[in-house]
């Protein structure tokens, strides 16, 4: 079990919430809600240790395209980086509806 937190600069306001995925084997859940400050905050709880750099790589890529002030909580149960990226994009899609 490991926990990471990351912050990214944001310049757009978020309004909606989203919840996608489940904490099942090889999967994860992403909870997304607006953040009151000008920053995006990410908190990751993962069952698999030792992948801090890979998490950072996935999030760095995501936040080059996403600039909203949100608070994201990730509860991971061994998802691949591809699955993580998909869930993040799905959360964004859902929050736009």
Partner 1 sequence: MVQSLDTGTAPRSWNKRGQDKARRLAAVAPWLSGKVLPSSRIVEALEVLVHSGDRVALEGNNQKQADFLSRSLAEVDARKIHDLHLLISSISRREHLTLFEKGIARKVDFAFAGPQSLRVAQLLEDRKLEIGAIYTYVELYARMFVDLTPNIALVCAEKADAQGNLYTGPNTEDTPTIVEATAFRQGIVIAQVNELTDELPRVDIPGSWIDLVVVADRPFAIEPLFTRDPRIINELQILMGMMVIRGIYERHGVTSLNHGIGFDTAAIELLLPTYGASLGLKGKICRNWTLNPHPTLIPAIESGWVESVHCFGSEVGMEDYIRARPDVFFTGHDGSLRSNRVLCQLAGQYGVDLFIGSTLQMDPDGNSSTVTMGRLAGFGGAPNMGHDPKGRRHSTPAWLSLITADSEVVRGRKLVVQLAETYQKGGEPVIVESLDAVQVGKNANMPVAPVMIYGDDVSHVVTEEGIAYLFKADGIEERRAAIAAVAGATPVGLKANPRKTEDLRQRGIVAYPEDMGVRRGDAKRSLLAARSIEELSAWSGGLYQPPARFRTW
54 binds partner 1 (CB under 8 A): yes
Angle at 42 between CA 36 and CA 45, to 5 degrees: 135
Answer for which of 7, 9, 38, 48 binds partner 1 (CB under 8 A) is 48
Please give the C-alpha separations between residue 21 and each of 13, 25, 26, 30, in angstroms, as whole numbers: 24, 11, 11, 6
80 lies in the binding site for partner 1 (CB under 8 A): yes
CB of 18 to partner 1, least distance (A): 10
- Tell me the two tokens of residue 72: 């994201």
Cα–Cα distance for residue pair 61/75, rounded to 1 Å: 19
Contacting residue, 51, 67, 73, 75, with partner 1 by CB under 8 A = 51
* Footprint of partner 1 (CB under 8 A): 20, 26-27, 48, 51, 54, 57-58, 61, 64, 78, 80-83, 85-86, 89-90, 93-94
């Amino acid at each position: 079990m490991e926990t990471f937190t990351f912050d990214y600069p944001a310049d757009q306001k978020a309004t909606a919430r989203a919840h996608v995925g489940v904490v099942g084997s090889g999967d994860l859940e992403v909870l997304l809600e607006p953040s009151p400050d000008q920053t995006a905050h990410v908190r990751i709880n993962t069952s698999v240790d030792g992948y801090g750099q890979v998490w950072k790589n996935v999030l760095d890529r995501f936040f080059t395209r996403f600039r909203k002030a949100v608070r994201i909580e990730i509860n991971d149960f061994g998802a691949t980086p591809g699955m993580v990226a998909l869930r993040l994009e799905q959360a964004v899609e859902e929050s736009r509806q």
